[in-house]
Amino acid sequence: MSNYIIFFLINLNRQIKQLIQLCSDTIFILLSFFLTLIVHNEPIIILNNTDIYIILLSVVFINLITFSFLGLYRAVIRHISTETIKHVGIGICVSAVFMYLVSQLFKVYLPVNIIFTFSLLLFCMQLGARVGLRQIYINNIKSDKKSVAIYGAGKAGLQILNSISKGSDYRPKMFIDDDKNLIGRRIANLNIFSMAQAEKLFIKYNIDVLLIAIPNLPHSIRNNILTQLQKYPMQIKAMPSLKDLVEGPIKINDLKAVSIKDLLGRNVVEPDLALMSKNINDKVVLITGAGGSIGSELSRQAIKCMPKMLLLLDISEAALYSIQSEINALAIDQGTKFEIIPIICSVQNSSQILKILKKLKVQTIFHAAAYKHVPLVEHNIVEAIRNNVFGTKTLGEMAVKSKVENFILISSDKAVRPTNFMGSTKRLSELICQDLALKNVTNFSMVRFGNVLGSSGSVIPLFQEQINKGGPVTVTHRDITRFFMTIPEAAQLVLQASSMGTGNDIFILDMGAPVKIIDLAFKMIHLQGLKPYLETSNKQTNGDIAISITNLRPGEKLFEELMLGENSIKTTHPKIFKEKLSGIESVELRKLQNLLLKACELGSIEDIKAVLVHPKIGLNHTGKIVDKVLL
């Protein structure tokens, strides 16, 4: 019933609301005066004096005029603040002075103590009514507000609390902090708890959102927080950086939902700008696959290093247009002046590639063009080999012929002991580059790393799409793990690794510890404030989003590796290592390439497989061949 009344009052038009306030304040003035007479035990005979009523009407008039002038009837009651207290006080002081002057004018004796008591009672009634209505509104609209716990009782936490207090979306319930000197104290009527204490109260307080108000909180601590809170369906938001705190007051809108990228990303080592720029600054740089996930990020990072000319090559017109537009805008924003040339071309087109390299005098090539989605490659083996293997061969040979200074191949962890055709194409590409490096014309390097967050074909966008649709989230195996790295970090490390190459080097990026995919699924669902549950055969549900275990896809393996050998070689960069591997004799390699080309022309997948099981390539494909050759 009270909810109905509140909503009825809220939905009244502004004029009716103002009329109700005018009538209420009039009643409060009259009631305050009569109560004052009772409190002071004044004879009721005073009321028989008609001049008293004239005084009261005059006070009503001046009080309403003053309140109107001060804007009290324009204010939204549910948003009243300290300004409201001040304005009510001013209005009542004016009314009290006016009452005294009018009583003197009409020669009606009203002692000062009566006027004081009247003013005090009127203040309590007029302000109390407004505060009371505001509280009733808050109490009855609880369902529209999210209960919030603020992690961090420092300066940023106080700023977030102030921002919340001015809004209508959140209702703060507690502070959480690890500082033992703060635990047990109070800030703005909110208790400060340790995380262990707070966990016991999350259900009691029905906490919906945890706001992390600590600038630059390390990824490891954020990950620990999420792990601790995984059993509670709450959303987690955090401050982006310390810079936001320095530049001005933090507002609730400055906090962004903690994404899985924040949790899986490591504390990134600041890039060495000298290393990043060595093969790019004032050079003509070509990036193949420039419209793809890695190629586009390499392009973004490259413009920071001030190339003489940047060539963006891709076979997809749409992808190329998109990255060209973005790079042009970024170059203008940072005030750099160099030519950016988009090139639609296949890396298999030897004559066109040679013409581009010679005419534009290319000095550095980052070769990121490849088909890399394992299940798709399993269905399109021939085309993947033509692009990944023979495309790399063509581009590398043309680079040598054009005397390009540096050639950097973007490889993959799937090249290590491959169980799928995609991985074997990457391993063979590495061997081709190793062989071309022996010509001592172009400095060939290979950079090998695992999954990048948010790339095309990555599990992250797939899980997010499935969560948005209400599930289920599909995981191929309970024990499957993968390495993860953010795209910007991967691109920066690739640029730095390229500067360390002395020829025939395979660089390995430190990907950190492998992540269990089923844990990733649980965390992503939890970050949406939803409760995940594992789907079982009895179809019982005890959460919001189901996690369904399917089967390993064609060519997919449980664990990825980054190295073929046992030992890695340290470099000057803490996140970059080298692996020295012997290649294949040039004559034998050419023989393998000829056999592979013939098998592709015949469309014989068994013949292709026979080539790729070579010990140096090491394809161990035990699954069903699913390729359907289109003749």
* Catalytic residue list: 414
* Paired residues of 534 in beta bridges: 547
Question: Coil, strand or helix: which one is 495?
Answer: helix
Q: How many beta carbons lie within 10 A of that of residue 254, not counting itself? A: 18
Rounded distance between C-alpha atoms, residue 315 and residue 34, angstroms: 89
Q: Which long-range contacts (CB under 8 A, 24 or more apart) does 64-69 make?
A: 64/22, 64/25, 64/26, 66/90, 66/91, 66/94, 66/95, 67/25, 67/91
Question: Coil, strand or helix: which one is 313?
Answer: strand
Residue whose token pair is 């009782």: 153
Is the C-alpha dihedral spanning 577, 580, 581, 587 positive or negative? positive
CA angle 197, 200, 203 (to 5 degrees): 140
599 CB-near residues (< 8 Å, 6+ apart): 605, 607, 608, 610, 611
Which of 507, 480, 311 lies closest to 409 in space, CA to CA?
Answer: 507
Rounded distance between C-alpha atoms, residue 116 and residue 166, angstroms: 34
> Helices 112-140 and 2-10 meet at what angle, rounded to 10?
100
Pairing between strand 209-212 and 545-549? unpaired
The number of CA neighbours under 13 Å toward the Cβ of 559 is: 6
* Cβ pair 471, 504 in contact under 8 A: no
Rounded distance between C-alpha atoms, residue 581 and residue 588, angstroms: 17
3-state helix, strand, coil in the chain (%, to 5): 50, 15, 35
| Tokens, residue 570 | 């340290």
* Cβ pair 297, 381 in contact under 8 A: no
* Paired residues of 549 in beta bridges: 475
Helix H or strand E encompassing 160: helix 155-165
Which of 230, 235, 367, 220 lies closest to 290 in space, CA to CA?
Answer: 367
Rg (CA), the chain: 36
269 CB-near residues (< 8 Å, 6+ apart): 573, 574, 575
